[in-house]
Structures are given as structure tokens and as C-alpha cells.
């Protein structure tokens, strides 16, 4: 059985009773505990997958907007004022 593992930001994970136990610890033992049953863990994985897809779509949209802005900036010329 794997032992409790530190994930970061004071969050630990352990395998218990066929599920995942997440705890937050501040040096004095667990202060919060969340038990993820396999179905909930599966739902979390699906959520992360959808999130990644949305971020990838946003990234491609953002890249296209940046490309368009760069093209517009390259075409822009400083206005010239005629002397009177």
C-alpha cells in the first residue's frame, strides 16, 4: 500500500478503503479531510479533462488574437503631421 504523499500547498493524499483521502495539514495533524470514492475521483478526472480542452481552445484563440494584433501593429504607421 502506498504511504501518504505530499502534493503541495499543505495537501496530502493517501489511499484508504479503495478511495483517495485528501488532507490538509499545518504541522499539527490533519485539519481537513476529503474522501474521494472511485466514482467521485472519476468525475474529478472528467472535469480536469474538460478543463484542459477548454484551456487549449482558449490558448488557440488567444494565440490567434495575438497574431492578429502583431499583424496590425506591423501595418501601423505613425501619423505624419503637415507643417503649416
Of 15-19, 22-26, 41-45, 68-72, give the lowest mean pLDDT range. Answer: 68-72
Are 70 and 44 members of one domain? yes
Q: Could you list the residue range(s) of the whole structural domain that residue 26 is in?
A: 1-36
Are 50 and 71 members of one domain? yes
Mean local confidence (pLDDT), 38-42:
92
Are 5 and 17 members of one domain? yes
Are 29 and 47 members of one domain? no
Are 63 and 48 members of one domain? yes
Are 1 and 23 members of one domain? yes
Are 44 and 63 members of one domain? yes
The pTM of this model reads 0.60
Environment class of 14 (CB within 10 Å of its CB; exposed 0-12, middle 13-18, buried 19+): middle
Give the confidence band of 78 by pLDDT, cuts at 50, 70, 90.
low
Are 16 and 43 members of one domain? no
Strand order of the β-sheet with 11-16 is 5-8, 11-16, 19-25, 30-36
Amino acid at each position: 500500500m502506498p504511504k501518504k504523499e505530499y502534493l503541495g500547498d499543505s495537501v496530502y493524499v493517501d489511499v484508504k478503503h479503495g478511495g483517495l483521502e485528501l488532507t490538509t495539514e499545518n504541522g499539527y495533524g490533519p485539519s481537513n479531510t476529503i474522501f474521494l470514492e472511485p466514482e467521485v475521483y472519476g468525475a474529478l478526472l472528467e472535469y480536469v479533462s474538460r478543463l484542459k480542452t477548454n484551456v487549449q481552445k482558449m490558448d488557440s484563440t488567444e494565440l490567434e488574437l495575438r497574431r492578429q494584433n502583431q499583424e496590425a501593429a506591423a501595418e501601423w504607421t505613425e501619423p505624419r503631421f503637415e507643417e503649416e
